Structure formats: C-alpha cells, structure tokens
Amino acid sequence: MRFEANIIRTTLSLLVFGVVNFLFVEKTQADGIHHQLQKQIPKVINYLNENEFKTVGVLKFRVKKPGEKTTSSAGSLNSLLADRLEVGLILANPLDERRQLKIIKDASARAAKIDEASHLTEAGRKALFGPRFKLAWGNQSVIADAFLTGIIQVHDDNQRASIGILCFNKSGGKLERACEVFEVELDAEVLGGIGESFLLRGAFDDGSTQLTFKDSQKQKQQLVLKEAVQVKTQQVKFPLFDTAAPVKLDLFYDGQPVSIEMRQGQAFVAEPRAGQKVEIALIRNPSARGRLGIVLKVNGENTLYRQVVRDFDCTKWILSPDYTKTVVRGYQMKNNVAEKFTVLSKAESARRAMDYGRQIGQIHMTVFQELSAAKPILAILDEDEQDLTAMLRGVQPTKQPKNLGALKHQIRLAGRKGSQARGLIVQGAKTANKVETVTFNTDPTPVMSVTINYYKP
C-alpha cells in the first residue's frame, strides 16, 4: 500500500512562521558527502566527454547498509543524491554549445513509468533507451546516450560510506565507473536520509556552550553518529519510546492507534488497508525547551507543500509551550488547502527489481531546535560555495527555462533565497485560518530523527 492524495479543504487553524536561515549554515556543512560529490562532478563530465555521451540522465541511487540488502528505498537520500548530481552537472555544464551536455530533467520520474526499466539488468537497461525524455531547459524531448546512477555503501562502523557513480550507455554494456570511488563521513542529514534513527539525549538543551558555533555543530554531529549506532544495535531505547524525546509521534488508522514493532533497531507498523483514514499526531514533550521545528515526511515528501528537499531546507511544523500538538491528515498546501492521505494498492512495485519512484514506504520525522545563542557572523561564499548551496537544495525551477544560462541563474538564485526564508506552520488555538509571521532560526543539527517503515517495496 502507499499514501496518495485527494484535494480537500482543511479545517485546521494555522500560524505561518517566516524563518531567517543564513548562508553561514551551509558553510559549516561543506565537508561531508555533498562537498565530496561536488568535487567529483568535473571528473564525471570529463568521462562523459571522453566517451562522447552528449545526452545524459541521472537515475536514483541505491544504498547498501551493513547486514542488509542493497535497496532503492532506504530513504529520501536515494532520490536526493540523484537530484543533487543532476543540479551539479547543470551548474558545471559549459555554456559553449559545442561542448555542452544535454541534461535530462528528473530521469527517474520518467523511468518509473517505463515497463521493465531497470539499470540492474541488460534488458532493463535497453528499455531505457527507446522512450524520449525532456531536457532540463528548452522544449526538446530526446533519446538518451547514457545514464548516470550510483551506489552508497555504508561501512560497518556506520560512520563512513563509499560512493560510486556509475554510467551505462545505449550500446548495451554493463555499468562502468564514471569516476573513482570516493569516501565520505556520514552526518545527521545522511543518517536520516538512509532511514536511521537517533536522539540527542539532553545534549545542548540549554543552548549554552563555550565552543564556537562551528565546533559545537561538529560536536553535535559526532554525538549523532554515536547515538544512531546505539539505536541500531539496540543499546538504547528507540527514540519514540524514550521519555526524553522532545516530540512524540502517534499514528492512527481510522482513528485507532497503531502499534510500532521493533526489528533489529528499526521501527515497523502494519501496512494500512486501502481506503483507511491515516492521521499522524505530533505532540511536544512538556519537558522540552523552547520552540521546536518538525519536518514530517511521508514517502520522502514533506507534509508541508510536498517538498522533496533536505530536511533543513524544508518548511517545518512548529511546536511550542503554547502550541503543543498538531494532527497531520494530509499534505498541507497553500491557501489552506490540504491533500488528504488516502491509501491505494501498490502491488506493481513488488514486481520491479528497481523502483525509480519516490514512494519509499516510510514516515520520517526530524526535530530541530531553535538557535538560542548569539548568531555567528555571516560568511561570504565564493562561487564554488554558492554552487554547493544550490546543489544541496537540489531544486530546479517549475517553469522550464529557455536555455542553460537562464536555468543556471534560476537555480543559483533559488539557492540563495532558499537559505534565507522559509515558512513554518503550526496548528493554532481557537483561531480560524489565521496567519502570523515571526522569526525562527533553525539549529542546523537536528536533535531527533525517526523513521517508521509502513511498507517495504
């Protein structure tokens, strides 16, 4: 089963919060997986040029975790890394049309609709070279010369990973490396993106520290890695069962609470039946301090505006001492319209060896604190760092630009704007659809991340 959506009018009262998040946050996070990915992009472009592959698409990555099968549905990172590689290729693509690559827009979305498509088999790879794909700019539809994809292999220590970017082409050959395999250190965002859970139990609750902002973030990230391993190895309670957790998540089918089952450090719930009403309640722990920003994703899509960007960049639900609970019944959209959760059969995914869709059968919650210490001094980013910021968001404009230059400009502009303002929504008290704007500064390292599996493709 999977969650789908029908448009309805919401009856919730809402408060909308504007957020100021500065570019200094991006700079503190530049040494992990995405910084390393950015370094590989020129090498990938050289590989494509040497092999005369001019029209290229990027397909969903796969993840291999210790003791588990390689999967296309570990979490949101499967698709996010493909998004970021695609944006990175666009930003590094030369404007000279003689040397310019033609980049397909969201190749996975098109591949998900192609029968038998799969880069895991020779027949599946051939199936990808018949249909036409839309480019990321202009109005052309093309047949691909080659596709890029990748695999993330998490090391046994659950703190590092090896990443390979692979390529296959229309000649029918096997997958080849498009660059050398590179090593990365994991962080809170990546752990959440591959379905791992953690809770920083009491760490930095009062917001006071003698460390610099950058050092305190580094120390938090180290604690996150340690806590995630302890949850996975069942040395500590799963975050949703821990009384110290700042936010509780309750799941209901047809108004009845759904129990969570633990298997090898991961949380599972019964798959909802077709037609059942699904509700998710977010409840603030009375002992939590300050306001909390919560990103709640279903199938890798944020329940606010169906965003598919990283959690830090997502619009967040806010819980505070005055607003302690909100019940999410669907994907909240603009103008007080919601797309209600419904459940439809997804038997077709069981027949596919490789699922290119974003439907990953998970409910994912990430909790952020509000920065209470003095704000760090803003950093001025150079061109590479600005491109990294845009690549991290992995977002392309909705309206198709006419040419590559216009597309680059819009991606970079969205990256700058996206780092400065986002809305956050909370259920209001005794007010009907009232909107209020306030300032909220998100601490970039989350204090809690929880993944619940409701369906395994």
Alpha-carbon torsion, ordered 358, 360, 363, 369, to 10 deg? -60
Q: Which residues form the domain of 370?
A: 2-25+196-376+414-453
The answer, yes or no, to whether residue 24 has pLDDT greater than 50, is no
Q: How confident is the model at residue 19 (pLDDT cuts 50, 70, 90)?
A: very low
One domain for residues 215 and 89:
no
Q: Which residue has the higher pLDDT, 301 or 346?
A: 301
The answer, yes or no, to whether residue 171 has pLDDT greater than 70, is yes
The whole-number pLDDT of residue 267 equals: 92
Mean pLDDT of the chain, nearest integer = 80
Mean pLDDT within 310-314: 87
Mean pLDDT within 147-176: 92
One domain for residues 313 and 361:
yes
Q: Which of 142, 170, 191 is the last residue of a domain?
A: 191
Gap between the Cα atoms of 45 and 173, Å rounded? 19
The answer, yes or no, to whether residue 206 has pLDDT greater than 60, is no
Residue 346 tokens read as 């997804």
One domain for residues 323 and 338:
yes
One domain for residues 301 and 154:
no
Mean pLDDT within 398-409: 85
Q: Does a structural domain hold residue 403?
A: no
Q: What angle do CA 204, 378, 311 make, to 5 degrees?
A: 55
pLDDT tens-digit readout, 430-442: 223 333 445 778 8
Q: Does a structural domain hold residue 147?
A: yes
Q: How confident is the model at residue 331 (pLDDT cuts 50, 70, 90)?
A: confident
Q: How many CB atoms lie within 10 A of CB 251?
A: 20
Q: Is 107 helix (H, G, I), strand (E, B) or coil?
A: helix
The answer, yes or no, to whether residue 273 has pLDDT greater than 70, is yes
Q: Does a structural domain hold residue 253?
A: yes
Q: How confident is the model at residue 151 (pLDDT cuts 50, 70, 90)?
A: very high
Q: Does a structural domain hold residue 343?
A: yes
Q: Does a structural domain hold residue 389?
A: no
One domain for residues 49 and 122:
yes
Q: Which residue has the higher pLDDT, 59 or 204?
A: 59
Q: How confident is the model at residue 88 (pLDDT cuts 50, 70, 90)?
A: very high
The whole-number pLDDT of residue 12 equals: 35
The whole-number pLDDT of residue 339 equals: 79
Mean pLDDT within 10-29: 36
Q: Which residues contact 345 (CB under 8 A, 6 or more apart)?
A: 1, 274
pTM for the predicted model, two decimal places: 0.81
Q: Does a structural domain hold residue 240?
A: yes
One domain for residues 346 and 234:
yes
Q: Which residues contact 163 (CB under 8 A, 6 or more apart)?
A: 33, 36, 37, 150, 151, 152, 153, 181, 182, 183, 184
One domain for residues 213 and 186:
no
**pLDDT > 70 in the chain, percent:** 77
Lookup result for tokens 């099968």: 69
One domain for residues 186 and 222:
no
Q: Per mean pLDDT, which of 39-53, 342-356, 387-401 is the most reliable?
A: 39-53
Helices (H), 62-212: 77-92, 107-111, 122-127, 188-193
The answer, yes or no, to whether residue 129 has pLDDT greater than 60, is yes
The whole-number pLDDT of residue 256 equals: 95
One domain for residues 16 and 39:
no
Give the sign of the dihedral formed by CA 111, CA 113, CA 115, CA 116: positive
The whole-number pLDDT of residue 2 equals: 44
- Of 29-43, 85-99, 120-134, least confident by mean pLDDT is 29-43
One domain for residues 150 and 230:
no
The answer, yes or no, to whether residue 212 has pLDDT greater than 60, is yes
The answer, yes or no, to whether residue 62 has pLDDT greater than 70, is yes
Q: How confident is the model at residue 335 (pLDDT cuts 50, 70, 90)?
A: low
Mean pLDDT within 4-13: 35
Mean pLDDT within 223-245: 90
CATH number, domain of 116, equals: 3.40.50.10610
Q: Does a structural domain hold residue 224?
A: yes
The answer, yes or no, to whether residue 402 has pLDDT greater than 80, is yes
Domains in the chain, number: 2
Q: Which of 129, 156, 191 is the last residue of a domain?
A: 191
Mean pLDDT within 117-134: 93
CA distances from 400 to 38, 139, 357, 366, 380 (A): 24, 8, 22, 32, 30
The whole-number pLDDT of residue 107 equals: 95
The whole-number pLDDT of residue 21 equals: 37
The answer, yes or no, to whether residue 192 has pLDDT greater than 70, is yes
Mean pLDDT within 245-249: 95
CA distances from 21 to 53, 368, 419 (A): 39, 13, 6
Q: Which of 191, 221, 241 is the last residue of a domain?
A: 191
One domain for residues 58 and 179:
yes
One domain for residues 207 and 138:
no
CA distances from 143 to 121, 133, 203, 248 (A): 19, 6, 52, 48
Q: Does a structural domain hold residue 231?
A: yes
